Amino acid sequence: MTAGQSEGGERKYQRIANALRAAIDAGEYRPGDRLPGENDLMAAYQVARMTARQALSVLQSEGLAEARKGAGVFVRTFRPLRRRGIQRLAQGQWGTGRSVWSADLDEDRDIVVDGITVTEQDTPDHIADVLGLSEDERVCARSRRFVLDGKPVLLSTSYLPMSVVDGSAITQEDSGPGGVYARLAELGHAPARFREEIRSRMPTTTEAEDLRLATGTPVFLMCRTAFTEGGRAVEVNEMVLDAGSYILEYDFNA
């Protein structure tokens, strides 16, 4: 057995983190409760301060706990957001004037759209390929950050052909009831099919800062493409989601 390991080959900080995680799952520590501090863990497990610190860091990186400067480490009170991938994109959602993201929310929660910017710009090569645009065609880029319960959870940039949306409310910060998809329908380009691609990686420095991520927290990268009935791609939405803040739910018939 090497230094820093307990019996069975498990490292000491992992054993402590596992015990704390089990206590959280069992309800011994509730959301908002303070976890044992470094001194408490050092005494209880007879370990060095660095080992106790690593154990608490594991829980923070998993999104189960958060450090409060000068106060200690506490069980997170934030409830993960259940992203209902099928229901949110149904025409019965945006077609009746509701935003797509409102399908994800319980009645007692709300999302704030923060820092929205709308610009006309040259089309990035990978977006041009999906939208079928030539190199001289431009896009309307809609970027925004979504904040839930005071915590940034999602960064999003949508790209739409200027030839389709020029002069419409889509080029304004407030695109109106039902959002972009309702406006596309009014323009004769209603989305009839969506494709979402999802992968995961560690965030860039900018993404970690914008989403206020704890060290070690990964992100979901989601790219959604909206297609018309005729098969034309009319929007590409690139999103970065805090993986510790989301449950991705897909409920569909066999």
Helix (H, G, I), strand (E, B) or coil at 143: strand
Residue with tokens 């706990």: 65
Could you give phi then psi for residue 29, rounded to 5 degrees?
A: -120, 120
> Nearest-5° angle of CA 127, CA 130, CA 136?
55
d(CA 48, CA 62): 22
What's the chain's average pLDDT?
Answer: 88
Structural domain total, the chain: 2
Question: Would you give the distance in Å from CA 26 to the centre of its chain?
Answer: 27
Domain of residue 186, CATH code: 3.40.1410.10
**Do residues 142 and 172 both lie within one domain?**
yes
Q: Tell me the residue type at 148.
A: L
**Global pTM exceeds 0.85:** no
Q: pLDDT, tens digit, for every residue of 59-98?
A: 987 778 888 888 999 998 767 777 777 676 666 666 676 6
Q: In this predicted structure, which of 175-179, 197-201, 204-208 has the lowest mean pLDDT? A: 175-179
d(CA 61, CA 53): 12
| Residue of 76, 215, 237 whose CA lies nearest to 141 | 237
Token pair of 204 as six digits = 């860039």
**Do residues 186 and 217 both lie within one domain?**
yes
**Do residues 95 and 160 both lie within one domain?**
yes
Residue 3 lies in a domain: no
Does residue 227 surpass a pLDDT of 70?
yes
Residues in the chain: 254
Does residue 246 surpass a pLDDT of 80?
yes
Residue 162 lies in a domain: yes
Distance (Å) of CA 110 to CA 57, 81, 180, 225, 249? 29, 11, 19, 25, 19
Write out the residue range of the structural domain in which residue 221 sits: 81-249
Domain end point (choices 75, 101, 128):
75
**Do residues 26 and 127 both lie within one domain?**
no
Residue 2 lies in a domain: no
Residue 1 lies in a domain: no
Domain of residue 49, CATH code: 1.10.10.10
**Do residues 212 and 173 both lie within one domain?**
yes
